[in-house]
Each structure stands twice: as structure tokens, then as C-alpha cells.
Amino acid sequence: MPAATRYHPSAEQLAVAGALDSSLAELLPLARLHRAFHEDEATWASLEEIGVFAIGASEDAGGSGLGVVEEALIVHTLGRHLASPAVLATIGAAQAPSSGIRRVAAAYRQDGRVIVIDEPGAELLLLREAGAAALHRASGLSGRVLDERLWLSRLREADEPGAPLADMDEGRLLRLRLLDAAALAGIAEGALHMAVAYAGIRQQFGKPIGSFQAVKHHCADMVMAARCARDQASYAAVALAEGRGDAALQVECALYAAATAALDNAGRNIQIHGGIGFSDEADPHLFLKRAQVLIAIAGGLEAATRRIADARGEY
């Protein structure tokens, strides 16, 4: 099929990603996030065993050598199950020169400060900032704790990490943003599924609340947001895989669409759950908090809109 007419992943690519769905659902139940915000050692070992961290790494580097489309589809599923930022950073860092496959903590620069999402056992640090990303050693960094739980992560302001071990070039940076978009699209879909399930079992006045028009409208809006986010992310993945001239524009649009959908759907999910949706013991707030921290790591929505405005390509 000509590149100009290909808009979606192939059936084979969807099948490869879909083969991991049940395994990831079993490994990453939402209940785990009420015990700890990071994945435990058993989960890390299982994710490595099924090949999650080697999706896009070359076979020479110990990876499976799959393409960017399969990688984005699998990360979408990880986003739906609220995989930790370190899991996503480890997948993204596998593209860095000579990085190998090692546990990587996520970090970003905000207002001149280096904010690290703490991850026990991390060997490397993937530091994201405006127009750049680099890998650093994670050991030996000191700093002060900023927050222990507000954003479903332990945030720490760290000292400058020193010289990078590897810099991400423009192509790898664009691929990181695609993974951000895929994970956020997954969050939008996960929030949708939770809201629809709850609307089907929660009753008021003797009827499921999903039968009420206002709730129906919320769920319909959530469906459209999640579907648009997923379609734009997969379209961008195909454009990037085929080296099209509009690939950068499509990736930036995917990031904006997915981030917006994740925030909106997470908020609507909380609203549909009513009072229990605001409680710490329930699950809806987990989607909002994970979306917020992933958007911060990706540089925020304002930066995405500026890159869209500046993008040049075939469109």
C-alpha cells in the first residue's frame, strides 16, 4: 500500500501488540497503586521477561527489533493500565546510543529545576527539557523531596546531573513524544472504560445512572476523545515509521490530542463516579494524577501547541 494512503497500523502490527494485552492487565492491576506508586521487583522482572523493554531496541542490543508502530501500540496498553513513568522512560531510553536495557527513572526540567520521579533501583535518568533529552547516571544525585503522593509519584528536586551519557537526537526525541502521546491516549481509554462500567452498575431511582441523558452525553464525549487520541497517535506512528514529511507535525498533534483527552476523560470519570470519585480509596483519581505527571514530563501542553504552530511538513 502506498505510504500516502496508509493511515493506520496493519492487522499484523495490531496482532503483535494485542498479544500482550492480557498479560499486561494481569501484571498491572490498578489496585497496586494504592500500595505503592512504582512497580515492584516482580513486576519489573515479568515485564522484562515478556519483552516490554526491548520492543524497539535492535536485535544486536538484545531487543526484539520491532518498529515504532508496534512500540506505540504496546505503550498505549501500558498507559491504559497506568504503568509507572519509569517503565515508559525505560522503553524510551532503549533508543539512546549504547544505553542497553537498564532501568531508567524519568525526570524533567521545569523553571530551571531538575524534577525527578523517584524510582527504586534505577541505574539511569532520562532528563527531558525543551527541545532536548539526555541519559544520565541516576546514582549520587541528592536533592529535596517536593511531594510524596499528590501526583501519584514521589517528586524530588535534584542537583544538576552532570555530563550526559548519551543525548537524544531529533528523531529519538520525536519518538519519545510519540510514546508520551500513546501512553496518554491509553489513559484516556482506561478512564472511559472505568466510567462506562460504573455507569452500568451504579443505580439511582431504580435505574443505572448510565440510562440518564446527562451521563450518556458524558460517556459519548469520552468515547470520541479516546478514539480521536488513539487514532491520531497510531496515525502519527505510521507517519514516523514511514519517514513521511508530516511525521513531526502528526506526532505533536497526537501529543496534544492525547494529553487533552486524558485530562478531560479523567475528570469526567471522577464526575460520573460522584462523591466516591473524589475519595482517595477509589480508583478514578489515579488516572488524573498519572496524566498530570506524564504531561509534565512531556513538557506541558503549551509547549506542544507552540511546536504544532512551528511545524512544517506535508499536510
> For 195-225, how does the pLDDT look when each residue is reduced to its tens digit (9 = 90+)?
999 999 998 888 988 889 999 999 999 999 9
Rounded CA separation 288/158 (Å): 25
Name the grid cell of 270: 471522577
pLDDT of residue 134: 95
Whether 112 maps to a domain, the answer reads: yes
78 pLDDT more than 50: yes
Task: For residue 50, give the CATH number of its domain.
Answer: 1.10.540.10
pLDDT of residue 188: 98
pLDDT of residue 151: 85
178 pLDDT more than 80: yes
Same structural domain, 236 and 256: yes
| DSSP for residue 74 | H
What percent of the chain is modeled with pLDDT above 90?
Answer: 70
pLDDT of residue 125: 95
pLDDT of residue 228: 97
pLDDT classification of 57: cutoffs 50, 70, 90: low
> Which of 243, 234, 257 minimizes the C-alpha distance to 304?
257
Among 167, 187, 203, the domain boundary falls at: 167
Higher per-residue pLDDT: 143 or 21: 21
What percent of the chain is modeled with pLDDT above 70?
Answer: 93
Same structural domain, 182 and 137: no
Rounded CA separation 97/247 (Å): 22
CA distances from 17 to 13, 20, 93, 97 (A): 6, 6, 20, 25
Among 167, 194, 209, the domain boundary falls at: 167
pLDDT of residue 315: 47
Same structural domain, 38 and 158: yes
pLDDT mean across residues, the chain: 90
Rounded CA separation 11/234 (Å): 13
Rounded CA separation 216/15 (Å): 31
17-49 pLDDT, tens digit per residue, is: 888 899 999 999 999 999 999 999 999 999 999
Task: For residue 179, give the CATH number of its domain.
Answer: 1.20.140.10
Alpha helices (H) in the chain, listed in sequence order: 11-18, 21-27, 41-49, 68-80, 85-93, 170-201, 213-241, 247-273, 284-297, 301-310
Whether 315 maps to a domain, the answer reads: no
Same structural domain, 196 and 293: yes
From the CB of residue 11, how many other CB atoms can be counted at a distance below 10 Å?
Answer: 8
Whether 66 maps to a domain, the answer reads: yes
In this prediction, residues 101-126 reach a mean pLDDT of 92
54 pLDDT more than 90: no
Name the grid cell of 211: 440510562
Q: Which residues contact 110 (CB under 8 A, 6 or more apart)?
A: 296
Same structural domain, 137 and 190: no
pLDDT of residue 297: 97
Domain range for 238 is: 170-310
| C-beta of residue 125 within 8 angstroms of C-beta of residue 141 | yes
Same structural domain, 123 and 43: yes
Same structural domain, 161 and 182: no
Whether 239 maps to a domain, the answer reads: yes
Rounded CA separation 303/169 (Å): 18
Same structural domain, 121 and 8: yes
Same structural domain, 205 and 245: yes
Whether 188 maps to a domain, the answer reads: yes
Same structural domain, 185 and 149: no
pTM: 0.94
Rounded CA separation 100/53 (Å): 10
184 pLDDT more than 70: yes
Same structural domain, 148 and 38: yes
pLDDT of residue 283: 96
From the CB of residue 206, how many other CB atoms can be counted at a distance below 10 Å?
Answer: 5
Q: How many distinct structural domains can be found in the chain?
A: 2
13 pLDDT more than 70: yes
Rounded CA separation 264/175 (Å): 24
Same structural domain, 97 and 229: no
6, HSE (Cβ side, Cα atoms, 13 Å) = 18
pLDDT of residue 314: 46
Whether 63 maps to a domain, the answer reads: yes
pLDDT classification of 162: cutoffs 50, 70, 90: confident
Among 112, 145, 167, the domain boundary falls at: 167
pLDDT classification of 105: cutoffs 50, 70, 90: very high
pLDDT of residue 16: 85
